[in-house]
A and B are shown apart, each in its own frame.
Chain A
Amino acid sequence: MREDTSDCALILSPVQWFGKVEGSPVHLPSLTSKQWRGRLTYAAMSLLVVWHTLAIVVAPSPDSAITRSARLLFEPYLTLFRLENGWSFYAPDVRVESEFRYVVEDASGERHTFVPADKLSRFHPIDIWVKDWYIHVMDTPETYGDAVAAYLCREHALLHPVSITLLEIEQNEFSPEDQLSGKHPFDPEFLDEKTLTTVQCPNE
């Protein structure tokens, strides 16, 4: 054990890796089995830190022959502990996200339009979960459209819904010049409405 002025470090030999408490003397092992146990533990811990470090580097690495082979090895570990992520926040490009809306048609033929984003609060932590869910539904309405509509039929049961129409409000490019001329990114001229799907509600 020695003092390292650069980082106040106490460098431990393999046999001393176990947690010790401040001020207590470091006993050199007197038993061979203890020495072996210390060395084995040190080796196991070294392997673990190497393994984990490689795993977190491989996870976001771009696709290549090397990373594909490495992934085969690390995939179970990465998946089981949910370490798989590309860490590409708002990248490669910033996506202008569409807004999700839906229309409930009731038994009398009246259409009620709902804007779920209006119910969200930016100060509520689950806000982004909900937003991401809507984005995913708009991206793959063929997969999630029926399930979302079925859920909305139940949620609006008091309206006696006949059908649910899912809408995507796409936002077009909005330039600094548009802003300076007093326009708003959500003015109708910058929005396009797209019908994703219409699903009939089950009879009550």
Chain B
Amino acid sequence: MSQTLQVEDAVRKAEQHWYEDGLSSIFTGIVLLGIVALGYFVPTHLNRPTALWLLCGGYGVFLVLAILQSRFVEWIKKRVTYPRIGYTPPPPSAVGVRTEDTGFWPAPPPSPMEQAYLDRQGQLWRKALAAIYMATGCIALLWGGYWFLVFAIICAVFFLTATPDVRAAYFTPVAYFLLGAGRRFLAPQVNDGLLTLVFCVGVLVSLAGVYKLIRFLRRNPVTAQTGP
């Protein structure tokens, strides 16, 4: 009898259910593209006294958006996803999503059953993988130039293969904000590579999300909810 396996299978399906519509990917991609747009916009105002405010304000907005991503996604899910495939709470891998419980980020720790599932599915290895690729990003930032394109491809492969675990995707905008802002202040003349990198990742993540959303909408017509 594989009772435990059956329960973990139910947890796994709930996790797939959460990422099935691609909304998380779309929002992450939009945040990344917004950072790129800001990176191109601000240099045209560098000679103006408002440049610093634009820079800080703009990056601050995207930082807030990244942190509030879960609330936006949940708001849309209530109107698009749940009427089609039903509702169940977000899985533990959706970091920052369970704000309903605490009212604040970060999310509470997963339950013992969820933790057992996470361990079993190798989430710890995925955490290590995310750390490796973030370290690679830091090296690429220091190296500069076309290595960003290589890193963008690595990121794209990671995003596409690591689904539905987008824990790393959630932290990516925050990490890029810190790295990008730091690079901007320390070496404002060298940032094309960074923008290219973020642009490539943003486009790929958004397109992957849009593809998943279109597939989701075509497969799942709206269902009128009923009950006993």
Q: Do A and B form a real pair?
A: no
